[in-house]
Amino acid sequence: MSIRVLNSGDTALVVEFGDRIDRAISDRVLALRGRVDAARIPGVVETVPTFRSLMVHYDPLTVRAAELTGTLKTLLEGAKALDRVRRLWRVPVCYEAELAPDLADVAARTRLGPDEVVRLHSSVRYHVYMVGFLPGYPYMGDLPAPLRLPRRADPRVRVPPGSVAIATAMTAIYPVECPGGWHLIGTTPIGIFDTATEPPALFAPGDAVEFEPIDRATFDRLQVRTAHGEHRPLPSELVP
């Protein structure tokens, strides 16, 4: 694997691991992030992982780009896998029609029954590749191949918070109301972004997520508890 360290303006470096979405690449990105954060390098302000790279923001008055590049290359040695345990989140999702406006269309386009779409979507332990686009928005892969569709041709102006969506090889949860072009196949009653908590985003890159189908009555009960601040899930276990 060819790794490049690139300048991004005069206050950031990008360590680029590849040119595709790949779990092995993601593990190396996150392994380097863990090492950089643990090293507490003077001048490093923040690290931001993406699908295939790690951006390292720094203060140029404290550390020079050339010096930081050398430190990063040293930290890269041996950073070939995720160096920490992963958090596993189990997320309840209601896939009933009124909370899954695109489920029937997805079923028709994939030539699967709605129940089979739900079974496939909830059968995978997903990997959080990155968080972005919106605060707390998790890009999770890898979606089962039979469910992979391009984004909608007609994006919605408003997507409700908690909407569980799919597009290409990814699945995601919308943290707040916003426009969106992914296929909505369910809704979770839990909140995944809350500025009153620390950290505000529920998920982080490297986390594992499983979806658990629930009925409408359970959804309504958990939604009320979430609205009253009585329900914020915790990782159910730690996995390697």
SS3 call for 140: strand
**Does 81 map to a domain?**
no
Q: Are residues 37 and 128 in the same domain?
A: no
**What CATH number should be reported for the domain holding residue 45?**
3.30.1360.40
The stretch 5-11 carries a mean pLDDT of 96
Question: Rounded mean pLDDT of the chain?
Answer: 93
pLDDT higher than 80, residue 78:
no
Look at residues 176, 164, 169 and name the one whose alpha carbon lies nearest to residue 144. Answer: 169
Q: Are residues 150 and 177 in the same domain?
A: yes
Q: Are residues 90 and 46 in the same domain?
A: no
Write the pLDDT tens digit of every residue in 17-45: 999 999 999 999 999 999 999 999 999 99
CA distance 106 to 213: 17
pLDDT band at 46 (very low <50, low <70, confident <90, very high): very high
pTM attached to this predicted model = 0.92
**Does 143 map to a domain?**
yes
Cβ–Cβ under 8 Å, residues 14 and 53 = yes
What domain range includes position 65? Answer: 4-76
Q: Tell me whether the omega of the peptide bond preceding residue 142 falls within 30 degrees of 0, making it cis.
A: yes
CA distance 50 to 179: 22
What are the CB-based long-range contacts (under 8 Å, 24+) for 157-160?
159/184, 160/187
DSSP state of 54: E
Cβ–Cβ under 8 Å, residues 147 and 114 = no
What six digits make up the tokens of 79? 């950073």
The stretch 50-78 carries a mean pLDDT of 95
Write the pLDDT tens digit of every residue in 112-137: 999 999 999 999 999 999 999 899 99
Of 76, 104, 134, which residue is a domain's last?
76
Tell me the C-alpha to C-alpha distance, in Å, between residue 14 and each of 22, 31, 50, 100: 18, 15, 10, 38
The stretch 6-22 carries a mean pLDDT of 95
pLDDT higher than 70, residue 201:
yes
Q: Are residues 126 and 25 in the same domain?
A: no
The pLDDT, as a whole number, for residue 76 is: 92
For 196, other C-beta atoms within 10 Å of its C-beta total: 6
pLDDT higher than 80, residue 83:
no
Q: How many residues does the chain have?
A: 240
CA distance 149 to 120: 14
For 150, other C-beta atoms within 10 Å of its C-beta total: 10
**Does 112 map to a domain?**
yes
Q: Are residues 122 and 223 in the same domain?
A: yes
Look at residues 189, 188, 95, 99 and name the one whose alpha carbon lies nearest to residue 147. Answer: 95
Ranges 90-99, 175-184, 224-233: which has the least confidence: 224-233
DSSP state of 98: G
Q: Are residues 232 and 117 in the same domain?
A: yes
**What CATH number should be reported for the domain holding residue 190?**
2.40.100.10
**Does 104 map to a domain?**
yes
Q: Work out the end-to-end distance of the chain between its first and last CA atoms, rounded to an integer number of angstroms.
A: 23
Of 76, 106, 132, which residue is a domain's last?
76
Cβ–Cβ under 8 Å, residues 17 and 25 = yes
CA distance 210 to 203: 12
Q: Are residues 116 and 224 in the same domain?
A: yes
Q: Are residues 139 and 53 in the same domain?
A: no
Tell me the C-alpha to C-alpha distance, in Å, between residue 129 and each of 14, 48, 172, 198: 17, 11, 11, 21
Q: Are residues 44 and 14 in the same domain?
A: yes
Of 76, 105, 126, which residue is a domain's last?
76
Q: What is the number of domains present in the chain?
A: 2
